[in-house]
Amino acid sequence: MPPWLSGLLSDKAVRSAQNQAGKESRRLEEEHRELLQTDRVQRKLESGKTHFRGADFELVADIAFEAAQELARRATVDDLSIEEATALRAVGVNPRKHSTWPIHAGKCSAVQHIGSARSSRSPGRA
């Protein structure tokens, strides 16, 4: 192999390694930012804070959605963590008041009520 070709190939390998290292570094920085944000939001939820904006609110909404799913799966309010209960309150859900839950499952009264309200609005009924 001519020396000039080996030089080109080694330069290409170096650039490729540098690009890969840069991508990995950016991925780790993003992951670190997300961990810091999660920790900050969890501390605020633990202290009872219920007003959030932007990316913090999106994270709170995700936590609240998971908690609502747990409630719909027959978990009790006492099974929720402080963060989960506060996140629910932050998005306007009272974990102790079933009618405010955004998710219902099975044969709960809210599902039956929603179903009867839909059938009363069905086409052909006056």
Three-class SS of residue 117? helix
Has this prediction a pTM greater than 0.95? no
Rounded Cα distance between 6 and 24, Å, is 27
Q: Is the dihedral of CA 86, 89, 91, 93 positive or negative?
A: positive
CB atoms within 10 A of CB 95: 23
pLDDT for 33 beyond 80: yes
- Summarize pLDDT for 76-114 with one digit per residue, the tens: 889 999 999 999 999 999 988 888 888 776 666 554 443
